[in-house]
Amino acid sequence: MVLFVNGLPLAVVELKNAADEDATIWTAFQQFQTYQAEIPSLFAFNAVLVVSDGVEARVGTLTAGREWFKPWRTTGGGTLAPETVPQLQVVIEGLFEKRRFLNLVRDFIVFEDDGSGKLDKKMAGYHQFHAVQVAVGETLRAAELAHAELAAEAPGRYGAGLSARQAGRQPGGDPG
């Protein structure tokens, strides 16, 4: 399956038959290696790869090795999905929720030069994605509170360059 966003193939999902004992998430991973060799243009704009056998699912990037394909374990970020929910369902509901996926593509994918001139694409895991979202939200909330507190102060009380008396304060820092 290919997920197109505004005509760009941003995600490719390789699904294997859960009833076939030989079809695993790792045979799906190997299939991506074949696709890269045979149809490299499919991956020109790719952000995320998903491998699944219908129950298990792992998420990674084009340059990630097998060990870096990890489960996406939450749908909303607050709690882990129950283990009774198929991992593929968690990926679809958690990672591919429209706004969440676009945020991931915009802010949580980076490229690193491995020293040989080859770029490695790296993507945040679910825990990193959600932790940063919470941290940024709290920072913005704190900044709004600080801004509101500054706006609520009476103007002209700072007195930079003035003596304490000129600034309207008593010596010792007590307000006048």
Does residue 137 sit within a domain?
A: no
* Rounded Cα–Cα distance for residues 23 and 112 (Å): 32
Does residue 62 sit within a domain?
A: yes
Does residue 170 sit within a domain?
A: no
| Digitized pLDDT (tens) for each residue of the chain, 176 residues in all | 999 999 999 999 999 988 888 889 999 999 999 999 999 999 999 999 999 998 899 999 999 999 999 999 999 988 999 999 999 999 999 999 999 999 999 999 999 997 888 889 999 999 999 999 999 988 988 888 777 776 665 555 544 555 555 555 555 544 54
Domain count, the chain: 1
Give rounded-to-5 percent helix, strand, coil for the chain.
Answer: 40, 20, 45
Instruction: Tell whether pTM > 0.85.
Output: no
Does residue 47 sit within a domain?
A: yes
Helices (H) and strands (E) in the chain, counts: 4, 6
Query: Position of tokens 């792992």?
Result: 58
CATH of the domain at 91: 3.90.1570.50
Q: Rounded to the nearest 5 degrees, what angle is found at the Cα of 96, between the Cα atoms of 91 and 99?
A: 140
Domain that holds residue 110: 2-125
Does residue 158 sit within a domain?
A: no
